[in-house]
Structure formats: structure tokens, C-alpha cells
């Protein structure tokens, strides 16, 4: 049992979970800032569903990449439990399905509160947990990983969270979703740049594989810059204090850009990935602080 728990914890990839937590955290803060509304039960169910889908995606990714031969002995990132033989593929897939079931349970509570829009958001999210690397058109293998993350871990997650809290679709949620989606996609871009050579030999056609390292670095540069400077939109929306949330992003983003420009793709990129996770969390913390101070 301890070995199973350790393997499951590794396959869940806890360092990626800020990408699920931050949209809900920041979305709840924005909803409270704009309307004064906050429902703890709905927030917890939204968070539980988002984290469960993220973990399920990671489990599916682990098993499917191993099945397709995308994780090899040349891997530079953390150990993958299926490819390394720590867990059987069948077990990993069952665990992934179990977490999707948990997400459905959380979604039922949200459906009772907000109705059919939860189904419209939930069904594609559940499918893409598998479809990110599996199915007839795996997004990660078609160079669409960044687009997927910006869309679902940014725009959909934030606007959906705000809707759950308020019952309204607010334009401010789109701006926040864009910022968080871009910051989350930086993690995918760093990961794909690090694994470019291995992915190129296993049929995984990420942006880094398709267009080369210079374009991959340029994508990271654009993600950082747009995430920061799109924050000026808060001034146009009448919420200038919220624009300061981009300050820690800018400082850490410069360090990430410097790293991908100077380090050769390799183990050093794992530290840049960790820095990207810190960047995401600090953005949410700064956004929360700005919202409270400017309320």
C-alpha cells in the first residue's frame, strides 16, 4: 500500500496542481470583488472538480504516453510511473476514471445550483481530460497543448468559477482568465521545449517539435509579456488596483525568459518549471491582495 500511494502521488504530479487551484481561487476573489458574493460550498465543489479533472488528466497522460512510447529512457523530466514500471497501465487508467467520477460528484452540486451551463462546461472538460493525450485527435500530439491550457485552465475555468459564484457571465472574468491561462500555458511550453528532442523521435508534434527551439522560446516570451501587459486592461475596466497583480509575474517571468534563452534544454528546465508554478501562485496571491486592498 505505501508503494501504491507513492506511485499514485507521483502520477498525480502535485507540482502541476496550481494550474487547477489558481483559476478557482482567483475567480472566487473576482466574483466577491465585483458583487460581494461568495458561497463556500460552491467554491469547494468547484475546486474539487477542477483538481480532480487535473489529476485525472495527469493519470491519463502518464498511461497513454507510455502506451504510445512517448516516455522513454531519454526523458529529462520527473519519472513517469507507467513507463518506469512502477504501476500497470490498467491501474493508472482506473485511477484516472475514479478521479473523473469524483469530478462528476462535485459537478452535480454545481448543476443543482446553476443548471445546464454546468453541463455545457463539464462534459467537454471531462472528455478532454482523456482527449488531451488520447482519442482520435490528441491535442498534446498536435501542437495544441498551449491553446488547450489557455482555453480550459484559463478562460473556461475562471469564467465558469465566476458564474458559479454569481450566476452571471462577467466580462472581467475573460481578462482574468486570459492572464491565468497564459501563465499556465508557460508550464506546458517549458515542458515541451525541454522534451523537444525526445518528442521528435516519438511522434509527439508539439509546437517546439514543429517549429524548433527559437520559436518555442519566442512563445514563452509572448506568454509572459501578454500575461503581464494585458493586466493594463483592468484600468479600462475600472479596476486599476487589480493591475498590480502583474508585478511579481513580470519579475519571475524575466527570470524564466532568461533561463530558456541561456540554459540548454535539460534538467535545468525542471527548476524553470517550478518557477513557473511559483509565478502562477504569486499572481493569484497578488490579485487577492489587490482585490482586498482596493475593495
Q: What is the pLDDT along the chain (295 residues), one digit of tens a residue?
A: 567 778 888 888 888 899 999 999 999 999 999 999 999 999 999 999 999 999 999 999 988 888 877 655 555 556 778 887 788 889 899 999 999 999 999 999 999 999 999 999 999 999 999 998 887 788 888 889 999 999 999 999 999 999 999 999 999 999 999 999 999 999 999 999 998 888 888 788 899 999 999 999 999 999 999 999 999 999 999 999 999 898 888 999 999 999 999 988 888 888 999 999 999 999 999 999 999 986 6
Give the pLDDT confidence score for residue 77 in this predicted structure.
Answer: 59
Q: Residue 79: give its domain's CATH number.
A: 1.10.600
pLDDT confidence of residue 138: 87
Residues 6+ apart with CB under 8 A from 270: 76, 77, 78, 194
pLDDT value of position 10: 84
Burial of 97 (0-12, 13-18, 19+ CB in 10 A): middle
Q: List CB contacts of 294: < 8 A, sequence separation 6 or more.
A: 33, 239, 240, 241, 242
Task: Tell me which residue of 184, 235, 226, 192 sits closest to 210, measured CA to CA.
Answer: 192
Distance CA 282, CA 276 (A): 10
Helix (H) or strand (E) holding 289: helix 268-293
| Element containing residue 161 per DSSP (H, E) | helix 157-166
Distance CA 39, CA 29 (A): 11
Residue 218 to residue 291: CA distance in whole angstroms:
32
Count up the domains in the chain and report the number.
1
Quote the domain boundaries for residue 84.
2-293
Question: Cβ distance 179 to 231 under 8 Å?
Answer: yes
Whole-Å CA distances, 58 to 11, 82, 208: 7, 12, 20
* Helix or strand (DSSP H, E) at 201: helix 196-202
Per-residue pLDDT, 80: 78
Element (H, E) at 42: helix 40-68
pLDDT of residue 71: 59
Q: What is the pTM (predicted TM-score) of this model?
A: 0.93
H or E element in which residue 165 lies: helix 157-166
Amino acid at each position: 500500500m505505501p508503494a501504491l500511494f507513492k506511485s499514485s502521488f507521483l502520477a498525480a504530479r502535485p507540482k502541476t496542481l496550481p494550474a487547477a487551484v489558481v483559476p478557482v481561487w482567483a475567480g472566487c476573489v473576482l466574483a466577491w470583488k465585483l458583487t460581494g458574493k461568495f458561497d463556500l460550498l460552491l467554491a469547494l465543489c468547484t475546486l474539487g472538480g477542477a483538481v480532480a479533472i487535473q489529476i485525472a488528466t495527469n493519470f491519463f497522460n502518464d498511461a497513454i504516453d507510455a502506451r504510445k512510447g512517448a516516455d522513454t529512457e531519454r526523458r529529462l523530466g520527473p519519472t513517469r510511473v507507467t513507463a518506469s514500471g512502477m504501476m500497470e497501465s490498467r491501474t493508472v487508467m482506473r485511477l484516472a476514471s475514479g478521479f473523473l467520477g469524483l469530478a462528476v460528484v462535485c459537478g452535480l452540486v454545481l448543476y443543482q445550483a446553476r443548471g445546464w451551463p454546468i453541463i455545457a462546461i463539464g462534459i467537454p472538460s471531462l472528455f478532454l481530460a482523456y482527449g488531451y493525450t488520447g482519442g482520435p485527435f490528441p491535442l498534446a500530439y498536435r501542437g495544441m497543448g498551449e491553446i488547450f491550457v489557455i482555453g480550459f485552465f484559463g478562460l473556461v475555468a475562471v469564467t465558469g468559477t465566476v458564474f458559479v459564484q454569481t450566476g452571471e457571465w462577467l466580462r472581467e472574468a475573460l481578462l482574468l482568465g486570459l492572464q491565468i491561462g497564459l501563465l499556465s500555458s508557460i508550464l506546458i511550453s517549458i515542458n515541451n521545449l525541454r522534451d523537444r528532442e525526445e518528442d521528435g523521435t516519438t511522434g509527439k508534434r508539439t509546437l517546439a517539435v514543429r517549429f524548433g527551439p527559437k520559436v518555442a522560446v519566442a512563445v514563452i516570451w509572448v506568454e509572459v509579456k501578454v500575461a503581464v501587459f494585458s493586466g493594463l486592461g483592468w484600468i479600462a475596466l475600472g479596476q486599476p488596483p487589480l493591475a498590480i497583480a502583474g508585478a511579481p509575474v513580470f519579475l519571475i517571468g524575466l527570470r524564466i525568459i532568461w533561463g530558456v534563452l541561456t540554459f540548454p534544454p535539460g534538467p535545468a528546465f525542471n527548476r524553470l518549471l517550478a518557477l513557473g508554478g511559483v509565478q502562477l501562485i504569486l499572481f493569484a496571491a497578488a490579485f487577492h491582495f489587490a482585490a482586498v486592498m482596493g475593495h
